[in-house]
């Protein structure tokens, strides 16, 4: 299965004759299972029509920064957060120059500037333009900022010149993009991640639960797989599919999650507790449906669930990362949980903000370890997961 399966890839197209090859690139990426959105510069539309790319990507093509209707549908910041990776193919000399200056005077440069995702450029231009000091300096600057340069290839050019400046073939670009997701940072490591909510049964038809969608934990599992880890997800009930190469163990209650987690930790290097586990469960699970009585109120007695991540940490078998879901005094409570549960690291999110945390596609977190603190986001959960896995790989 391709590493591009289910990835959200933004293809940027700037103005150049190689733009006709972008259609094939979009097809290649879609065939590999990626969800593709296209952003074109105005110059690019002189070489290939947005309609072609809309038909191939199955999504509307984005053209303008200052179009209120388009911005209302999916604004440039949203697009930037949506992308798991951006590839600009072809990247003209002019586009490379504008990007290296940090300009944001059209939609494509604005999206590139606003995105924390990996960015790759497939340069395509006349060989002399590619060799010019100005382009060399611009490319060096961009490479220094972590931008990947795919190509260019050498050969005969549309203008009749021969030399470097041909855009790489779409199949090669798709393959290089695939490799961009594989960091190898956790190669040979075993990672266990808890995700989703737990359900604490009251009777055969009712339960106590919470709003966790599993998106954060599943994104972490994908990022751990990309980093080369043998990854196991212990998941509460969610409506999303686990990453292709994860071993997924489905559970319902906190006690089931506890049993699985404690067994797995015996053979694990890194344990990440992203699940929203119920702290309490009903002390009795009624055998039959509880019937409505005459009384206007009802009292439930709840008993404490085991603390999974604290008990995993107590085993001192692996590097243990917890989450803290807080609605106020995030800093204070996160630091307290780090100490009380004896974790190596804690990732705190403010779940009172509906634009991040529970169920959102985005998140923003503070991370604490020893006496250190750093922050990420707001970014998409998949980009955040990659950043968190990089930090965990460094610290563990
Ligand atoms: O799933 P999403 O919709 O994407 O939302 C993501 C998220 C908000 C659920 C996630 O980012 C998050 O914050 N997860 C932790 C939720 C939580 O239960 O936090 P807590 O502060 O109550 O618990 C602290 C830590 O102890 C967590 O790592 C939790 O997994 C763990 N815990 C809690 C109780 C318990 N009985 N056992 C545990 O292991």
* Same-domain pairing of 342 and 375: yes
CA angle (54 as vertex; 167, 93 as ends), nearest 5: 30
CA distance 90 to 168: 9
- Which CATH number fits the domain that encloses residue 194? 3.40.50.10300
User: Rounded CA gap, 276 and 238, in Å?
Assistant: 12
Do 303 and 384 belong to one domain?
A: yes
Q: Which of 159, 180, 201 is the endpoint of a domain?
A: 180
Both 280 and 383 in one domain: the answer is: yes
Q: Do both 225 and 90 map to the same domain?
A: no
CB 92 within 8 A of CB 125: yes
Residues 142 and 209 reside in one and the same domain? no
Output the CA 9–ligand 1 centroid distance in Å: 29
Nearest to 337 by CA among 353, 320, 352, 315: 320
- The residue annotated as part of the active site, out of 159, 248, 268, 318, is 159
For residue 12, which of 103, 121, 101 has the smallest C-alpha distance? 121
Instruction: Tell me if 119 is assigned to some domain.
Output: yes
Confirm if 382 and 219 have CB atoms less than 8 A apart. yes
Distance 368 CA to ligand 1 centre (A): 15
Token reading at 180: 């961009």
Of the candidates 155, 180, 205, which is a domain's last residue?
180
**Ligand 1 atom at shortest distance from the alpha carbon of 216:** 4
Name residues contacting ligand 1 (CB within 6 A).
Answer: 194, 212-216, 254, 273-277, 279, 305, 307-309, 322-325, 337, 349, 351, 357-359
Q: What is the CATH number of the domain that holds 51?
A: 3.40.50.1950
Residue 212 Cα, ligand 1 centroid: separation in angstroms? 9
User: Does a structural domain hold residue 273?
Assistant: yes
Residues 23 and 138 in one domain: yes
Whether residue 174 sits in one domain with residue 46: yes
Ligand 1 mean position, distance from CA 352 (Å): 14
Q: How far is the CA of 301 from the centre of ligand 1 (A)?
A: 22
The per-residue pLDDT for 115 is: 95
Interatomic CA distance for residues 393 and 223, integer angstroms: 11
| 321 Cα nearest atom in ligand 1 | 28
220 and 111 part of one domain: no
Q: Is 276 buried (19+), middle (13-18) or exposed (0-12) by CB count in 10 A?
A: buried
Q: Three-state DSSP class for 114?
A: helix
User: What domain range is 163 assigned to?
Assistant: 8-180
Query: In the numeric block, which tokens belong to residue 211?
Result: 């709003």
Query: Reading across the β-sheet that carries 85-91, which strands appear in turn?
Result: 35-40, 8-13, 85-91, 119-123, 148-149
Rounded Cα–Cα distance for residues 291 and 276 (Å): 29
Say yes or no: 210 and 150 in one domain.
no
User: Would residue 3 count as lying in a domain?
Assistant: no
> What's the CA gap between 261 and 265, in Å, rounded?
6
Domain boundary among 133, 156, 180: 180
Quick one: 172 and 23 in the same domain? yes
In a domain, 2, yes or no: no
Same domain? For 288 and 311 the reply is: yes
Domain count, the chain: 2
Tell me, yes or no, whether 272 and 346 share the same domain.
Answer: yes
Return the ligand 1 atom nearest residue 365 CA: 11
110 within a domain of the structure (yes/no): yes
Examine the residue annotation and report whether 159 is marked as an active-site residue of this protein. Answer: yes
**Main-chain dihedrals φ then ψ at residue 390, nearest 5 degrees:** -60, -45
Mutate to test the pocket of ligand 1, among 322, 345, 377 (most ligand atoms within 8 A of CB): 322
Question: Ligand 1, residues 221, 234, 309, 352: which to mutate, most atoms within 8 A of Cβ?
Answer: 309
What is the pTM (predicted TM-score) of this model? 0.90
pLDDT of amino acid 184? 93
Q: Which atom of ligand 1 is nearest to the CA of 238?
A: 1
pLDDT in single tens digits along all 396 residues of the chain: 788 998 999 999 999 999 999 999 999 999 999 999 999 999 999 999 999 999 999 999 999 998 787 777 778 999 999 999 999 999 999 999 999 999 999 999 999 999 999 999 999 999 999 999 999 999 999 999 999 999 999 999 888 999 999 999 999 999 999 999 988 999 999 999 999 999 999 999 999 999 999 999 999 999 999 999 999 999 999 999 999 899 999 999 999 999 999 999 999 999 999 999 999 999 999 999 999 989 999 999 999 999 999 999 999 999 999 999 999 999 999 999 999 999 999 999 999 999 998 999 999 999 999 999 999 999 999 999 999 999 999 999
- Tell me whether residue 213 is in a domain: yes
């Amino acid at each position: 299965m391709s590493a591009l399966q289910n990835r959200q890839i933004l293809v940027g197209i700037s103005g150049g004759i190689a733009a006709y090859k972008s259609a094939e690139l979009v097809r290649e990426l879609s065939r590999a299972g990626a969800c593709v959105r296209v952003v074109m510069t105005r110059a690019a539309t002189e070489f290939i029509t947005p309609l072609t790319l809309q038909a191939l990507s199955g999504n509307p093509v984005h053209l303008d920064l200052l179009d209120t209707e388009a911005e209302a549908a999916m604004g440039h910041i949203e697009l930037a957060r949506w992308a798991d990776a951006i590839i600009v193919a072809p990247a003209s000399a002019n586009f490379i120059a504008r990007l290296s200056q940090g300009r944001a005077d059209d939609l494509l440069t604005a999206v590139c500037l606003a995105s924390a995702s990996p960015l790759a450029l497939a340069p395509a231009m006349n060989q002399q333009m590619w060799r010019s000091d100005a382009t060399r300096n611009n490319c060096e600057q961009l490479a220094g900022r972590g931008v990947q340069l795919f190509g260019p290839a050498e050969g005969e050019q549309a203008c009749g010149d021969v030399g470097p400046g041909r855009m790489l073939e779409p199949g090669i670009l798709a393959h290089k993009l695939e490799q961009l997701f594989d960091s190898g940072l956790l190669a040979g490591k075993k990672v266990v991640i808890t995700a989703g909510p737990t359900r604490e049964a009251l009777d055969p038809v009712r339960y106590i639960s919470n709003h966790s969608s599993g998106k954060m934990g599943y994104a972490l599992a994908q990022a751990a797989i990309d980093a080369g880890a043998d990854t196991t997800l212990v998941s509460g009930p969610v409506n999303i599919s686990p990453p292709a190469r994860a071993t997924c163990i489905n559970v319902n209650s906190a006690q089931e999650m506890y049993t699985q987690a404690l067994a797995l930790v015996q053979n694990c290097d890194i344990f990440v507790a992203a699940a929203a586990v119920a702290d309490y469960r009903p002390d009795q699970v009624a055998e039959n449906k509880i019937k409505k009585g005459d009384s206007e109120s009802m009292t439930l007695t709840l008993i404490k669930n085991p603390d999974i991540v604290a008990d995993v940490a107590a085993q001192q078998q692996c590097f243990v990362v917890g989450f803290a879901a807080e609605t106020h005094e995030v800093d204070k409570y996160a630091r307290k949980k780090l100490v009380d549960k004896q974790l190596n690291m804690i990732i705190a999110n403010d779940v009172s903000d509906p634009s991040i945390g529970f169920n959102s596609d985005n998140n923003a977190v503070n991370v604490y370890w020893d006496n250190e603190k750093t922050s990420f986001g707001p970014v998409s959960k998949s980009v955040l997961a990659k950043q968190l896995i990089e930090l965990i790989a460094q610290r563990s």
